[in-house]
A and B are shown apart, each in its own frame.
Chain A
């Protein structure tokens, strides 16, 4: 009796180092411009080739501007990094969907939408949100640049087998509650380090009923509870999503693959090292108030008070955090004025996110003081949004639909939130300075972000009756 994680892991162990980690074979290696250059120069220095260049796929996303992508990148450092990626990919024979390519986009958006991400795979990338791909029933996790170099050189990395955790969410979600709320709720309950050392499997009826894109949002943020990664057993929803995608198996090969993929689920009675069970009915729209993703509350709730925190060092961290945010302990966030809204990132920039936002803002106008940025996850998402006329709806509501990239999630390009300003962001991290030095981030769902853009202050989506 094995868990889903163990089935995939065991099928990928090449060998085990005596008293040490296991050598894990990697099926798909995704790379981007920020965490790959030093790995390429490592190969160069050692004079070794890329072992399996066909198993690596590259894109430019972290550093790219979201306006005028047809022009040369203005920031010379960003330009150099993106150009270096192009040079390295050409030199080592790696497929690159660079700036301007119809398949370019955030690495964790394009893998799934192109049918590159498949159930049963091991997938790594020099990016912690690689956990996103786990939504397909794959073992996917972020690695450092030394490990990127190891994968280039040998298609393998050394890993200690993590423990397994099951998180089960049963029941029906209330109206206005999205998968983003589910994951923010889970992290608020088990903390930003509660998953450390574990690989998480998400199960239960509430997860089963989610679309693939909603599942990706959940797995995306499994790293925010400290977990190595998160995954969901593949089912008909998964197979239907994959079928017909650009690089997905076709015809007979697809049928054979589905047959195998159907075996990918935890056996009844398989043992997990830890289990959490939550009731979907208890989940409300969520928002974070602090500077780590575990500091989340129900949007109608209050920020905790110091008195509720027992541990003295936790108390210090809590106070540091709400001081940075300019908030008071015990405060309710509803009605708090914000000036910035960011809808995008590998967490919430897919077509369903854009559709939801467009559907909600249709015929409404953003508050005049709000700057609302909506950044699609990929060229394909952008193209689809335009084909469906979402661009017009968004622009009439006063939202700026930009070109694809990581954008204000981490502010490596021009898209930053100014110091001291509040931003409701659909991204994954509310760390100090994450969206720009001094920026203050509230993490929430695309619907909460959209509703707050309309009113101009933090708003409970459920107060809109439509």
Chain B
């Protein structure tokens, strides 16, 4: 995982609620056996028509909105556990997703891939959307060390939560698997002591 510190960027607003991972990356694009290239099909059926032409009214096809921060409605990433959704978002170039609520599995998948899910209040989310509506070039500043999300134009900010362990992982570029591999002896000891495992042996 890459190190993450501070990001300042314009945003792509997608104020739709309950965006499920089937919208982020439809099932028919899950046939790959590598992690690369999913960004081309990010939001495929909202982004392209049946003939493969870009749909003009979709935000990713509007060159006035760019940047590495996606701002979305509540319950983002619900549905299927496909990590391909997080890969697609990252591969497209987003480093942060802002929402008032994330679905559990998506949140874990994003965190495991260096995409930072920033959860803020409904009210602040609305404020960001209003600001971007006023000025498409508005920038947000994500400061992970301080755990703040700031609207640059107004200076208004909100603190966000992140598990202290995950914060260390993000700041240093650590993966969970490295940690788990480092405690393999403890895992073996657990296996020897577990009553449940001996019951099924």
Contacts and interface: CB of A to CB of B under 8 A. Distances in A.
Contacts of B80: 127-128, 410, 429
A144 B101 contact: no
Given A23-B180, A154-B184, A192-B75, A256 B199 contact: yes
A403 interface: no
Contacts of A51: 184, 187
A48 to B, nearest CB: 7
A317 B18 contact: yes
Contacts of B186: 14-15, 23
Nearest to B83: A144
Contacts, number: 201
B195 A11 contact: yes
A60 to B, nearest CB: 13
Interface in A222-262: 226, 228, 249, 253, 256-257, 260
A78 B31 CA distance: 6
A339 interface: no
A77 to B, nearest CB: 4
Given A196-B101, A316-B16, A317-B17, A226 B31 contact: no
A248 to B, nearest CB: 10
B33 A81 contact: yes
Interface in B29-43: 30-35
B195 to A, nearest CB: 7
Interface residues of B, number: 59
Interface string A423-451: 00000010111100110000000000000
A218 B75 CA distance: 22
A432 B46 CA distance: 10
Interface string B158-192: 00000111100000000111011101101100110
A247 B187 CA distance: 25
A193 B18 CA distance: 8
Contacts of B165: 17-21, 158
B176 to A, nearest CB: 5
Given A25-B187, A193-B75, A147 B108 contact: yes
Contacts of A149: 177
Nearest to A260: B199
Nearest to A249: B200
A154 B181 contact: yes
A314 interface: yes
A142 interface: yes
Range, interface on chain A:
35 or more
Interface stretch (A32-40, A325-333, A371-379): A32-40
A34 B25 CA distance: 13
Contacts of A46: 177
Given A412-B28, A431-B22, A11 B187 contact: no
Contacts of B83: 35, 38, 126, 144-146
B68 interface: no
Contact of A158 (B73, B176, B197): B176
A160 interface: yes
A34 B20 CA distance: 18
Interface string B5-19: 000000000011110
Interface string A148-160: 0110011111101
A228 B190 contact: no
B130 interface: no
Contact of B81 (A12, A128, A156): A128
B164 A193 contact: no
18 contacts: A12-B194, A17-B179, A19-B164, A20-B165, A20-B166, A27-B200, A34-B82, A38-B33, A38-B34, A38-B35, A42-B177, A118-B200, A150-B180, A257-B199, A313-B17, A316-B15, A316-B17, A429-B22
8 smallest CB-CB distances across A and B, nearest first, come from: A20-B165, A144-B83, A142-B81, A37-B33, A144-B109, A77-B31, A146-B112, A19-B164
Interface of B: 15-18, 20, 22-23, 26-28, 30-35, 45, 50, 73-75, 78-84, 86, 101, 103-105, 108-109, 112-113, 163-166, 175-177, 179-181, 183-184, 186-187, 190-191, 194-197, 199-200
Given A153-B177, A410-B27, 19 more contacts: A12-B196, A14-B186, A34-B82, A38-B33, A51-B184, A78-B31, A127-B80, A128-B81, A142-B105, A144-B86, A144-B109, A146-B113, A150-B176, A193-B18, A196-B101, A316-B17, A317-B18, A317-B73, A429-B20
Interface of A: 11-12, 14-15, 17-21, 23, 25, 27, 34-35, 37-38, 41-42, 46, 48, 51, 62-63, 75, 77-78, 80-81, 84, 118, 120, 126-128, 142-147, 149-150, 153-158, 160, 162, 192-193, 196-197, 226, 228, 249, 253, 256-257, 260, 292, 313-314, 316-317, 320, 410-412, 419, 429, 431-434, 437-438
